[in-house]
């Protein structure tokens, strides 16, 4: 039972650089930034005035019942859109599949922050009787996973994991475990986030976590560069369809690649800072490689967590060196957050999709804005220009506040 193989058959992406997989991949490989001055609310008085916003998509159109969309937060809208894209990409017909064997695992680092802000304002301005009866369902982080399951009638395992910026990797990894254990044959899994809002920006800015390069928004997210000054908030969703191999074969699915490894753990160190030498992240990568039954020298590409924070990028560099040894200097590493910004709980889903496409197309997306590498960040970060390369094995890292670490490994599918 535990040797059941798991493959990826569908991708869905809603992001600041594209609201479908093709556009997302084109902009990623062309090194286009999605960071601009935000328009969701006035920036006056805010130290950070830039973000990666999702634009140009009718999110309500992805719901069968428009009323459901009106009763849901923006983070759930993103999830529904990306889930439907992923299922369509996978050619997954819900009506011909046993619904009890299909699960949904969609997480969010923060959940319905915008709804919480709106209803809190209404509470204090107009009184408790004017608060929406849908306030709690709009806020709670599990609602994206719940509403996607209801939309398609999927009755299999359903959860929402919250591990800050490691959320997506944990949801996909735990879905992988459940399939391997035999309790489901397929999952819609990933993450979603909508925190480009007054409280979201103010909260992270007050921690001095955000870039304030407001006069050059497209250059603000610059992982591993010596002039980086913090991350840039992004929003969107990354959802994948993962399936047990024989289940995918029976329905004639087109297979992108195989999901072979998952590692997780905790730093047990600090609320927001990683271990200085990256020991927790390193253990996480090593666990994923053990599960994948691969050696360090087999890893061709790492999609780094790479947030563009002064401490985080150095710690991840150290972690990669510790986990991969000398091969760390030979592997291609890039941070796609340099273009999308940091999608928090949705980051891992979007970045795993990028890693899947790197295997499919033989192109490694770049780390843009890497003009003068930090002396402590001395790996090959694929600076500024995408690289053609055979990618057989890719690793995707996500690390979150609270000391959460999660790594996924995918591999070229050879039958």
Give the 3-state secondary structure of residue 388.
strand
The backbone torsions φ and ψ at residue 43, rounded to the nearest 5 degrees and listed phi first, read -90, 0
Element containing residue 151 per DSSP (H, E): helix 143-152
Helices then strands, each counted (H, E), the chain:
13, 14
Active site residue 315: no
Given 165, 257, 284, 315, the catalytic residue: 165
**Could you identify the residue written with the tokens 């590493």?**
333
Q: Give every CB contact of residue 232 below 8 A, 6+ residues apart in sequence.
A: 35, 48, 50, 51, 52, 210, 211, 217, 220, 221, 308, 337, 341, 342
Active site residue 165: yes
Given 77, 305, 377, 404, the catalytic residue: 305
Query: Dihedral of the CA atoms 11, 296, 267, 340 (nearest 10)?
Result: -30
Instruction: Give percent helix, percent strand, percent coil of the chain, each to the nearest 5.
Output: 40, 20, 40
Contact 222, 177 (CB under 8 A): no
Given 247, 291, 342, 404, the catalytic residue: 342
Tokens of 98: 């046993």
* Angle between helical axes of 113-126 and 74-90 (0-180°, round to 10): 150
CA distance 379 to 321: 9
Angle at the Cα of 299 (from 14 to 33), degrees rounded to 5?
30
Contact 11, 256 (CB under 8 A): yes
Active site residue 342: yes
Contact 82, 238 (CB under 8 A): yes
CA distance 413 to 76: 32
Contact 145, 159 (CB under 8 A): yes
Extended strands (E) in 350-392: 363-364, 387-388
Contact 396, 351 (CB under 8 A): yes
The residues annotated with a catalytic role in the active site are 165, 305, 342
């Amino acid at each position: 039972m535990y040797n059941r193989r798991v493959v990826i058959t569908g991708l869905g992406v809603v992001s600041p650089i594209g609201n479908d997989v093709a556009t997302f991949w084109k902009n990623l490989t062309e090194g286009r930034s999605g960071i601009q001055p935000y328009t969701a609310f006035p920036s006056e008085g805010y130290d950070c005035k830039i973000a990666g916003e999702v634009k140009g998509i009718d999110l309500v159109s992805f719901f069968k019942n428009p009323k459901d969309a009106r009763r849901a937060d923006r983070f759930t809208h993103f999830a529904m859109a990306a889930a439907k894209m992923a299922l369509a990409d996978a050619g997954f017909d819900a009506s011909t599949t046993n619904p009890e064997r299909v699960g949904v695992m969609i997480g969010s680092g923060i959940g319905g922050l915008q709804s919480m802000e709106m209803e809190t304002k209404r509470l204090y301005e107009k009184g408790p009787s004017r608060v929406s009866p849908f306030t709690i369902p709009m806020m709670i982080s599990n609602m994206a996973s719940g509403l996607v399951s209801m939309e398609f009638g999927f009755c299999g395992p359903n959860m929402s994991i919250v591990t800050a910026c490691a959320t997506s990797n944990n949801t996909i990894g735990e879905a992988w475990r459940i399939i391997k254990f035999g309790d489901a044959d397929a999952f819609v899994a990933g993450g979603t986030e909508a925190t480009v809002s007054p409280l979201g920006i103010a909260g992270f800015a007050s921690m001095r976590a955000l870039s304030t390069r407001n006069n050059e928004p497209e250059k603000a997210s610059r992982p591993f560069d010596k002039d980086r000054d913090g991350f840039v908030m992004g929003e969107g969703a990354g959802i994948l369809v993962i399936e047990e191999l024989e289940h995918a074969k029976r329905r004639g699915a087109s297979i992108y690649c195989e999901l072979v490894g998952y590692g997780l753990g905790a730093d047990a160190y600090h609320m927001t800072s990683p271990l200085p030498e990256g020991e927790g992240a390193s253990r996480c990568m090593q666990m994923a490689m053990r599960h994948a039954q691969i050696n360090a020298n087999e890893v061709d590409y790492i999609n780094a967590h790479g947030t563009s924070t002064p401490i985080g990028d150095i710690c991840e560099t150290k972690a990669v060196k510790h986990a991969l040894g000398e091969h760390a200097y030979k592997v291609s590493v890039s941070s796609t957050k340099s273009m999308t910004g940091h999608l928090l709980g949705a980051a891992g889903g979007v970045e795993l999709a990028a890693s899947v496409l790197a295997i499919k197309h033989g192109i490694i997306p770049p780390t843009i804005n890497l003009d003068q590498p930090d002396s402590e960040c001395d790996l090959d970060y694929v600076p500024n220009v995408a690289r053609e390369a055979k990618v057989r094995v890719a690793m995707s890292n996500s690390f979150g506040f609270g000391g959460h670490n999660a790594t996924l490994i995918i591999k070229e599918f050879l039958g």
